[in-house]
Structure 1
Amino acid sequence: MAKANKIVLGKRPETFSKEVSFPMLDGSTGCIRIDYLYRTRKEHAAFIDSIQAGIEAKAKSESERYKALADAGEDLPMLKQSDVVSYQVEANVDTIMGAVKGWNLDIPFDREAVEQLVDELPAAVAAILTAYREAITEGRLGNSV
């Protein structure tokens, strides 16, 4: 039996790493080693609140734009599927950029690369964000520094 580590409160890591697996489009399994930013449960809740506030602010801005057009008697633009997907991609990119410090992919971790990942491999997004939430809020997957 492995020896248990002594618990030391207040000695928080800056980051922790996880191997995140997800289904690829061809049926194989993809894997990325993600370096996550450490947050306490309360900090994670505040982080998620800030992401939600950004989404709400964008929705309010769009609503005000539509109202101004309607008040001016202008035709309202139709909301297209591409618009909905663009909003979703932007929200996913914002969340990953706020939760992740880096990865082991052959391209640098930056906003452009994250947007490419979100656009090309949606299953990776769900896996990355679920692993983060579970590690922070439930202590799942065994944090390793």
Structure 2
Amino acid sequence: MAKIILGKPPKSFTKELSFPMLDGTVGTMKITYKYRSRKEFAAFVDSMLDVIKADGEAEIAAAKAAIAEGVEPAPNLGASESTANEKNATRQADYIMDVVEGWNLDVPFDREAVEQLVDELPLAATTIIQSYRTAMTEGRLGN
């Protein structure tokens, strides 16, 4: 059994993740996450939510400005599938870049590779995000 020492949290931790692939097989990858305390994680999530809120407020302001100028706002202002998908993919990539230090894939961990992962294997991105959230809120560092 490991002795508990308060005040010396790890800088990072590694988890092996698995998720269903599109062809029915199971994909696996090792992820090295940045450690955050619960308070630090809450502040991180708040900052991510602030970005989402600001995006929504900007869309509302644009619609109000159009109305004030007598112009009909676009009927699907920010609501097209491609726009929603692009925003979601960008937010997922932002999140992953902020919580992951590295992985064991055959490509370097960088923004371009993360964006490719989010686009090609959305369930892998969701698994990375959910695994981190679980580790930070419930303390599960193992598989």
TM-score (norm 1): 0.90
Query: Hey, what does 1:69 align to over in structure 2?
Result: 66
Distance in 1 (alpha carbons) for counterparts of 2:37 and 2:21: 31
Query: Hey, what does 1:80 align to over in structure 2?
Result: 80
Consecutive unaligned residues in structure 2, runs of 5 or more = none
Runs of 4 or more, structure 1, over 4 Å off, are: none
Q: 1:16 aligns with which of 13, 29, 47?
A: 13
Number of aligned residue pairs: give it.
140
What CA RMSD, in Å, does the superposition of the two structures yield over aligned residues?
1.4
For residue 131 of structure 1, report the CA deviation from its aligned partner. 1.0
Distance in 1 (alpha carbons) for counterparts of 2:89 and 2:71: 29
For residue 141 of structure 1, report the CA deviation from its aligned partner. 4.0
Distance in 2 (alpha carbons) for counterparts of 1:102 and 1:74: 48
TM-score (norm 2): 0.91
Distance in 2 (alpha carbons) for counterparts of 1:63 and 1:32: 40
Query: Hey, what does 2:103 align to over in structure 1?
Result: 103
Asked if 1:38 corresponds to 2:28, the answer is no
Query: Hey, what does 2:139 align to over in structure 1?
Result: 139
Distance in 2 (alpha carbons) for counterparts of 1:74 and 1:112: 38
Contact 2:13/2:141 (CA < 8 Å) preserved in 1?
Answer: no
Consecutive unaligned residues in structure 1, runs of 5 or more = none
